[in-house]
Amino acid sequence: MTESTYRIQGATGEWEVVIGLEVHAQVTSNAKLFSGAATAFGAEPNTQVSLVDAAMPGMLPVPNMECIRQAVRTGMAIDAQINKWSRFDRKNYFYADLPQGYQISQLYHPIVGEGQIEIVLDEKNPEASTKVIGVERIHVEQDAGKLMHDQHPTRSYVDLNRSGVALMEIVSKPDMRSPAEAGAYLSKLRTILRYVGSCDGNMDQGSMRADVNVSVRRPGEEFGTRTETKNVNSVRFVMAVVEHEASRQVDVLEAGGKIVQETRLYDPDRNETRSMRSKEDAHDYRYFPDPDLLPLELDDAFLEACRQSLPELPDAKLRRYAQDLGLSAYNAATLTADADTARWFEALLAEGARIQKKSEGEVAKASANWLLSELYGALNRLGKSLEDSPVSPEEGAELLALIADGTISGTIAKQVFEIMLETGDKPGKIVEEKGLKQTSDTGAIEAAVADVLAKNGDKVEQYRGGKEALFGFFVGQTMKAMQGKANPQVVNELVKKALAG
């Protein structure tokens, strides 16, 4: 565990920032939390609305157990207490996007209790930069609809497609102390949600958004008054909000002012937060248990099934990559930061081990390096993601096997890979058709070496006179003469022998 040294230098001394995040994550499910209506993103307004979502008279909510299951699995993934008995409450307020006049949520008895998330601030130095952030609770609740103010000069329209969609509200403890920690927490939470499959984590589509609670204090003193900046929808923006809001608060306090506990909005264009116009009165939500719903009681079999369905989680996977596969801490972190990347890597690994008849540990390093440098480089260039990679894990593994068994050199492999990207052909076929197989024919290589030495008599003299750095030059010239197809190890040996001669 590390202590943050992030401080804001005010005119009157140092300030420490205290951050807590409330993350709303849309539960991945085909249907809404209490109705059978669909949840597709981007559908035409009011086409994903059931009678329940529109709060027609006499309609009743029925919990969608898939949403409950996903919340429980998420809780298990952050080592949280799962409450076998939880209950739904109504949060009462009037707004045009809230058809029932109340949101069904869980105030008093959330489904998931305390848990924790481990963040790493410097992936190259994990031991020295790991911190555990507490999670207070996770509860499930309904999303509201959406108001559209730009459709008519004097009227607003209501789209109820999102009304009733299941959200998990994941509430952290006020354990973060810097923008970097807040960013790392949100990224890590997103990673976990995507591993578990309980939320797609698409922040730009609004499936994940954060309310950022920020306060400042003199180091070691009591918590200050906090503000809450609502609906921040990217990791970068969360970090910007913390930075901006903390320094704003310091300015206020140092000018002798007081921080007002209030809700603020972030304006990414101006990179500032501003106070939301306060509603007429402070809201009294009149929470009370929803009488349309029975308490939610989960049995052991359900919990066990949830546990069994969990995949290997990012922390465990990272440890395994570093310890069992021998990858560097950085590579292990990069490969496990995203569920899709890890899945791709493991497919590459499995196929590589299979065709090379080796253990996964034996092929891991070369596979990781190739994926992170060659493949990522190519994808970046092409503006593609791993999901739509033109090369499959199987093809990648075949290419790596050709290098490993000496059929082609690393240099030729780069050429082959380019051709794979262009044509979609399999590496073996490319090597065969283009005659790229490397040679270990010592006779041919010896001839080439002799030729190179003969043409560069002056350099031979210099080398023999002690300028050993020229060794690489002779190797390079030989490889060039062999059109890159010579086995580099054999070339090394023969060049050394000839120069010694």
CB of residue 248 to another protein, shortest distance in Å: 30
CB 181 within 8 A of CB 119: yes
Name which of residues 413 to 452 contact another protein (CB under 8 A).
Answer: none
CB of residue 175 to another protein, shortest distance in Å: 28
Residue 267 buriedness (CB in 10 A; 0-12 / 13-18 / 19+): exposed
Size of the site for another protein (CB under 8 A): 31
60 near another protein, judged by CB under 8 A? yes
85 near another protein, judged by CB under 8 A? no
CB of residue 306 to another protein, shortest distance in Å: 21
And the tokens for 292? 């349309």
Q: Which is nearer to another protein, 105 or 438 (CB)?
A: 105
Alpha-carbon gap, residue 329 to 123, rounded angstroms:
7
Residue 300 buriedness (CB in 10 A; 0-12 / 13-18 / 19+): exposed
95, 132, 257, 432: which one contacts another protein (CB under 8 A)? 95
291 near another protein, judged by CB under 8 A? yes
153 near another protein, judged by CB under 8 A? no
CB of residue 94 to another protein, shortest distance in Å: 6
Q: Which is nearer to another protein, 51 or 252 (CB)?
A: 51
Give the Å distances, CA to CA, from 31 to 46, 48, 50: 15, 10, 10
276 near another protein, judged by CB under 8 A? no
In one letter, which amino acid is 51?
L
Binding segment for another protein among 58-66, 312-320, 410-418, 437-445 (CB under 8 A)? 58-66
CB of residue 286 to another protein, shortest distance in Å: 4
CA atoms within 13 A on the CB side of 218: 6
Binding segment for another protein among 286-294, 392-400, 423-431, 477-485 (CB under 8 A)? 286-294
Q: Coil, helix or strand for 401?
A: helix
Residues contacting 279, CB < 8 A, separation 6+: none
Residue 1 buriedness (CB in 10 A; 0-12 / 13-18 / 19+): exposed
286, 319, 434, 455: which one contacts another protein (CB under 8 A)? 286
CB 119 within 8 A of CB 130: yes
179 near another protein, judged by CB under 8 A? no
User: What DSSP letter does each residue of 260-306 carry, written as one string?
Assistant: ---EEEEETTTTEEEEPPPPSS------EE-TTS--EE--HHHHHHH
15, 102, 185, 237: which one contacts another protein (CB under 8 A)? 102
10, 38, 41, 59: which one contacts another protein (CB under 8 A)? 59
Residues that bind another protein (CB under 8 A): 51, 54-63, 90, 92, 94-96, 99-102, 156, 158, 280, 284, 286-288, 291-294
